[in-house]
Chains A and B, each alone.
Chain A
C-alpha cells in the first residue's frame, strides 16, 4: 500500500465540490470531512435532479455522491452526467459513498461511470487517498454505446497481468513519461469492497 505522504501539501481551497446525499447525520459527517480537507463550502444537493441542475451552473472539480439515494438515483445521476454535453463537468471525478455494498451495487457503481466507491463509515484518510489519486491519475475517458466514463481498467493493473490488451491503444503509449510516472493505484484500486475504518 502506497499510503499518504504525511508532509505533502495539497490545496482544495478553490475546489468546487458537489455533495449529493440525502439529509442525514451521515451527510453532515461527509461535509465535515470535506471541510477539514480544505474544501471551503461544498455545494449540497439533496436530489439527483437538483444536482443535475446545479451542475449546469458552474464547473465542478469533484462530486461526492451517496450511492444509497432512493430508486438508484445516484447511478442514474452519474450515468446521465457522463452522457450529457456538460463540459467540463461530464469528466468530473465522482466518488460514490455507500454503506452496505452488495456485489450487485459494486457492478452498478462501476458501470455508471463513477471513479471510485468508498464504503461508509467514511474515513478521512481513505477519502483523501482517493482524492489524491484522482488528482494524479491520467485515466482516459471512454465513450461507448454501453458505457461512458473513466476507463475501467488501470494501466498499472494491466501491466501486472502481462497480457496483450484487446484495444488498439493498449499497444500505444501516447505519453510514455506519464505512464511511467503514474502513481500506483490505491490498494483496492478500482472499487473498494472493504469497509473503511476511521
Chain B
C-alpha cells in the first residue's frame, strides 16, 4: 500500500475573488446573457455548417466505416450539442446527444448499425428543414423516437 501525502495549498482563487470590486452575481450573469445573445447569429451560421457536414460525412459512412470516420461524425455531433442552445436552436441538442450516444455505444461494442445511424441523420435533417413546421410536441416525438432507436440498438 502506497503512502498518501496530503497537502493543503493556498487557495489563490479564493484570495482573488474576495478582492474589492468586481460585479455582483446578478450583473455578471446579465452581462453573460447579453454577450451570448450577441453570438447567436454567428452560432446559427456555425450550426448550419455543422449540420450540413454531419449529413455529408454521415452519408459517406457506409456499411463498414473506419474509426476515423465515426469519430469525425461524433465530433461534429458533439459540437452541435455544445452550441445549439446558445445558437437559438435548442431542439438540435437532444438529437445530437442521441447520435453521440449511438456512435459512442457502437464504437465501444465494436459493432455497426447503419440503419440506426441513418435514422438519426434523417431526424436531424427533418428538424433542420425550414419548410416543415415543428411544434414542441412534434420535436419531442422525433427526439423520443431517436432515443428509442439508441436503446434498442445498444440493448
Chain B interface, DSSP helix/strand/loop, else mixed:
helix
Q: What B residues does A9 contact at CB under 8 A?
A: 21-25
User: Would A61 and B13 count as touching, CB distance under 8 A?
Assistant: yes
Among the 9-residue stretches B1-9, B55-63, B118-126, B134-142, the one with 4 or more Cβ atoms under 8 Å from chain A is B1-9
Q: Provide the bound-state CA to CA distance between A100 and B19, in Å.
A: 36
Q: Does A73 contact B (CB under 8 A)?
A: no
Among the 9-residue stretches B97-105, B109-117, B145-153, the one with 4 or more Cβ atoms under 8 Å from chain A is B97-105
User: Would B35 and A35 count as touching, CB distance under 8 A?
Assistant: yes
Contact flags B52-91 to A (C-beta < 8 A → 1, else 0): 0000000000000000000000110111011111110000
Return the chain A residue nearest B30 by Cβ. Answer: A36
Query: Which residues of A from 14 to 31 have beta carbons under 8 Å from B?
Result: 14-15, 24-26, 28-29
User: Would A128 and B24 count as touching, CB distance under 8 A?
Assistant: no
Q: What B residues does A92 contact at CB under 8 A?
A: 12
Q: Provide the bound-state CA to CA distance between A191 and B32, in Å.
A: 24
User: Would B29 and A128 count as touching, CB distance under 8 A?
Assistant: yes
User: Would A135 and B11 count as touching, CB distance under 8 A?
Assistant: yes
Q: Does B144 contact A (CB under 8 A)?
A: no
Q: Does B133 contact A (CB under 8 A)?
A: no
Q: Provide the bound-state CA to CA distance between A35 and B26, in Å.
A: 15
User: Would B32 and A7 count as touching, CB distance under 8 A?
Assistant: no
Name the interface size band of chain B: 35 or more
Q: Provide the bound-state CA to CA distance between A15 and B4, in Å.
A: 31
Q: What A residues does B19 contact at CB under 8 A?
A: 11, 13-14
Q: What A residues does B29 contact at CB under 8 A?
A: 36, 124-125, 128
The answer, among B6, B22, B86, for a CB contact under 8 Å with A12, is: B22
Name the interface size band of chain A: 35 or more
Contact flags A53-93 to B (C-beta < 8 A → 1, else 0): 00000010110000010000000000000000000100111
A59 to chain B, nearest CB (A): 7
Q: Does B14 contact A (CB under 8 A)?
A: yes
B117 to chain A, nearest CB (A): 15
Q: Provide the bound-state CA to CA distance between A61 and B108, in Å.
A: 36
User: Would A38 and B75 count as touching, CB distance under 8 A?
Assistant: no
Return the chain B residue nearest A136 by Cβ. Answer: B14
User: Would A25 and B12 count as touching, CB distance under 8 A?
Assistant: no
Q: Does A106 contact B (CB under 8 A)?
A: no
Query: Which residues of A from 83 to 122 have beta carbons under 8 Å from B?
Result: 88, 91-93, 99-100, 102, 104, 120-122
User: Would B35 and A36 count as touching, CB distance under 8 A?
Assistant: yes
Known: A37-B32, A100-B77, A128-B29. 11 other contacts (CB 8 A): A7-B24, A10-B25, A11-B19, A28-B42, A32-B36, A36-B35, A102-B104, A120-B82, A121-B81, A121-B85, A140-B6
Of the A-B pairs whose beta carbons lie under 8 Å apart in the complex, a sample of 19, sorted by A's number, is A4-B25, A6-B24, A9-B22, A10-B22, A29-B43, A29-B83, A37-B28, A68-B75, A100-B78, A100-B100, A121-B83, A128-B29, A135-B14, A135-B16, A136-B14, A141-B8, A143-B7, A145-B2, A167-B4
